[in-house]
Amino acid sequence: MSADLLFQITNTGVLPVWLLLAVRPGWRWSQIAAFGVAVPLLALTYAAVLISLMASGGMAENPDFGSIDGVQALFSDRYGFVAAWTHYLAFDLFVGAWIARDGSTLGLPRLILVPALFFTLMAGPFGLLIYLVFRQVKLRSALAEPLPFANKERAHP
């Protein structure tokens, strides 16, 4: 399969799952689509491309992760770039699915979840940061609320 086709399949294949997470964040099937299908398929694709690159000699024997030139060289091969992009897609989707599930559990409104999901899709860590800020605000406000029985006098026999 060509690198271009593999890129197109992985890049567009995740979009329906992101849409499911935005429309029905806490829905069981949204979570299954992400954690049970899409993320494992992306991970498998990543591993297959990486193994293929190593077996064919398309990847440097001792890749240099200590310099910008060394890392940039890893992306110079089209399949190396597809592997890296698939890596991003898998981790961003994993984080997005966690945001959707966690946000639904906490009762965060979709008005907060959808922008956090959008920015996680488009700019991974920035979307996660947005979500974590709103999550922290929600948790702090929940801690500030009085306990349901705090204002009630207890009758002692």
50 Cβ contact partners less than 8 Å away, ≥ 6 residues apart = 59, 83
- What is the per-residue pLDDT for 63? 72
- What is the per-residue pLDDT for 154? 52
- Residue-range definition of the domain harbouring residue 45: 3-143
- What is the per-residue pLDDT for 71? 81
> How many distinct structural domains can be found in the chain?
1
- What is the per-residue pLDDT for 34? 97
Is 92 a member of any domain? yes
**Residue 4: pLDDT band by 50, 70, 90 thresholds?**
very high
Is 157 a member of any domain? no
What predicted TM-score, i.e. pTM, was given to this entire model? 0.83
Is 49 a member of any domain? yes
63 Cβ contact partners less than 8 Å away, ≥ 6 residues apart = 70, 73, 74
Tens-place pLDDT, residues 111-154: 999 999 999 999 999 999 999 999 999 998 877 666 556 555 55
Tens-place pLDDT, residues 52-87: 988 887 666 677 778 888 888 877 889 989 999 999
Say if residue 103's pLDDT is above 70: yes
Is 29 a member of any domain? yes
Q: Which residue has the tokens 């979307």?
A: 127
User: Residue 150 — φ and ψ, nearest 5°?
Assistant: -65, -35
**Residue 155: pLDDT band by 50, 70, 90 thresholds?**
low
